[in-house]
Amino acid sequence: MSSKEEKAREAMLMKAKDAVESIANDLKFSKPLTEIIYREDYGDYQVIIDDNLHCEIRERLIEEYIKTKHVDIRKEIFFRLEHAVEFEEWEQPESSKQSQGGGDYRGDVVVDDSANYDL
Protein backbone atom coordinates (compact mmCIF):
# COMPACT_ATOMS: atom_id res chain seq x y z
CA MET A 1 0.00 0.00 0.00
CA SER A 2 1.43 3.38 -0.95
CA SER A 3 2.00 6.18 1.49
CA LYS A 4 -0.88 8.15 0.00
CA GLU A 5 -3.28 5.21 0.43
CA GLU A 6 -2.12 4.68 4.02
CA LYS A 7 -2.75 8.33 4.86
CA ALA A 8 -6.22 8.14 3.30
CA ARG A 9 -6.98 4.95 5.27
CA GLU A 10 -5.79 6.55 8.52
CA ALA A 11 -7.88 9.67 7.83
CA MET A 12 -10.95 7.50 7.26
CA LEU A 13 -10.23 5.56 10.47
CA MET A 14 -10.08 8.83 12.41
CA LYS A 15 -13.40 9.94 10.87
CA ALA A 16 -14.94 6.57 11.74
CA LYS A 17 -13.67 6.80 15.34
CA ASP A 18 -15.05 10.31 15.67
CA ALA A 19 -18.42 9.26 14.23
CA VAL A 20 -18.82 6.21 16.49
CA GLU A 21 -17.64 8.09 19.59
CA SER A 22 -20.00 10.94 18.77
CA ILE A 23 -22.96 8.56 18.43
CA ALA A 24 -22.03 6.84 21.71
CA ASN A 25 -21.77 10.16 23.55
CA ASP A 26 -24.90 11.72 22.03
CA LEU A 27 -27.06 8.70 22.83
CA LYS A 28 -25.45 8.26 26.25
CA PHE A 29 -23.88 4.85 25.75
CA SER A 30 -23.01 3.58 29.23
CA LYS A 31 -19.75 1.70 28.54
CA PRO A 32 -16.40 3.09 27.42
CA LEU A 33 -15.20 2.48 23.88
CA THR A 34 -11.74 0.98 24.21
CA GLU A 35 -10.66 0.87 20.58
CA ILE A 36 -11.89 0.94 17.00
CA ILE A 37 -9.95 -1.14 14.48
CA TYR A 38 -10.38 -1.28 10.71
CA ARG A 39 -10.33 -4.86 9.42
CA GLU A 40 -9.50 -4.71 5.72
CA ASP A 41 -10.10 -8.42 5.13
CA TYR A 42 -13.69 -8.08 6.35
CA GLY A 43 -14.43 -4.53 5.18
CA ASP A 44 -15.61 -3.49 8.63
CA TYR A 45 -14.64 -1.77 11.83
CA GLN A 46 -14.35 -3.79 15.02
CA VAL A 47 -15.38 -1.73 18.03
CA ILE A 48 -13.95 -2.97 21.31
CA ILE A 49 -16.04 -1.92 24.28
CA ASP A 50 -14.87 -1.99 27.89
CA ASP A 51 -11.99 -4.36 26.92
CA ASN A 52 -14.19 -7.47 26.83
CA LEU A 53 -17.05 -6.77 24.40
CA HIS A 54 -16.96 -6.28 20.66
CA CYS A 55 -19.20 -5.48 17.74
CA GLU A 56 -18.55 -5.11 14.06
CA ILE A 57 -19.85 -2.27 11.91
CA ARG A 58 -19.62 -2.39 8.13
CA GLU A 59 -17.35 0.19 6.54
CA ARG A 60 -20.11 1.21 4.13
CA LEU A 61 -22.52 1.92 7.01
CA ILE A 62 -20.00 4.25 8.68
CA GLU A 63 -19.18 5.97 5.39
CA GLU A 64 -22.85 6.57 4.69
CA TYR A 65 -23.39 7.96 8.18
CA ILE A 66 -20.44 10.34 7.80
CA LYS A 67 -21.87 11.60 4.49
CA THR A 68 -25.53 11.93 5.45
CA LYS A 69 -25.76 11.90 9.27
CA HIS A 70 -29.03 10.00 8.72
CA VAL A 71 -30.95 9.24 11.93
CA ASP A 72 -31.74 5.64 10.95
CA ILE A 73 -28.08 4.86 10.31
CA ARG A 74 -27.19 6.46 13.63
CA LYS A 75 -29.77 4.22 15.36
CA GLU A 76 -28.38 1.15 13.58
CA ILE A 77 -24.83 1.91 14.75
CA PHE A 78 -26.04 2.53 18.30
CA PHE A 79 -28.03 -0.73 18.21
CA ARG A 80 -24.85 -2.59 17.29
CA LEU A 81 -22.98 -0.94 20.17
CA GLU A 82 -25.73 -1.86 22.64
CA HIS A 83 -25.74 -5.48 21.48
CA ALA A 84 -22.01 -6.10 21.55
CA VAL A 85 -20.96 -9.60 22.54
CA GLU A 86 -18.22 -10.87 24.82
CA PHE A 87 -15.02 -12.22 23.37
CA GLU A 88 -14.85 -16.00 23.40
CA GLU A 89 -11.87 -17.74 25.02
CA TRP A 90 -10.18 -18.24 21.66
CA GLU A 91 -10.86 -14.72 20.39
CA GLN A 92 -8.72 -11.69 20.90
CA PRO A 93 -9.03 -8.15 19.61
CA GLU A 94 -7.07 -7.48 16.42
CA SER A 95 -4.74 -5.11 18.30
CA SER A 96 -3.78 -7.87 20.77
CA LYS A 97 -2.94 -10.25 17.96
CA GLN A 98 -0.70 -7.68 16.32
CA SER A 99 1.08 -6.81 19.55
CA GLN A 100 1.88 -10.45 20.31
CA GLY A 101 3.92 -10.86 17.17
CA GLY A 102 2.02 -13.88 15.98
CA GLY A 103 3.27 -17.11 17.50
CA ASP A 104 1.47 -17.42 20.83
CA TYR A 105 -2.10 -16.76 19.69
CA ARG A 106 -4.06 -19.80 20.88
CA GLY A 107 -6.83 -19.33 18.35
CA ASP A 108 -4.53 -20.37 15.49
CA VAL A 109 -4.95 -23.98 14.50
CA VAL A 110 -2.92 -25.55 11.73
CA VAL A 111 -4.75 -28.19 9.76
CA ASP A 112 -3.02 -30.23 7.12
CA ASP A 113 -3.89 -33.30 5.14
CA SER A 114 -0.80 -35.29 6.07
CA ALA A 115 -2.72 -38.15 7.69
CA ASN A 116 -2.86 -41.31 5.63
CA TYR A 117 -6.28 -42.86 5.74
CA ASP A 118 -6.97 -46.45 4.67
CA LEU A 119 -10.48 -46.47 3.32
Q: What is the pLDDT of residue 112?
A: 53
Are 77 and 59 in contact by the 8 Å Cβ rule? The answer is no
Q: What is the pLDDT of residue 113?
A: 55
Strands (E) located in 21-69: 33-39, 44-49, 53-58
pLDDT in tens, 42-62: 999 999 999 999 999 999 999
R_g (Cα) of the chain, nearest Å: 18
Strand partners, 117: none
Reduce the DSSP state of residue 83 to 3 states and report it.
coil
pLDDT in tens, 76-105: 999 999 999 998 877 776 655 554 444 444
What single letter denotes the amino acid at residue 43?
Answer: G
Report the alpha-carbon distance of residue 80 to residue 89 in Å, rounded.
21
**Residue 114's pLDDT band (cuts 50, 70, 90):** low
Report the alpha-carbon distance of residue 100 to residue 30 in Å, rounded.
30
Residue 108 predicted with pLDDT over 50? no
Q: What is the pLDDT of residue 99?
A: 47
| 63 Cβ contact list (under 8 Å, min separation 6) | 12
Query: In the predicted model, what is the mean pLDDT of residues 28-38?
Result: 95
Percentage of residues of the chain with pLDDT beyond 70 = 76
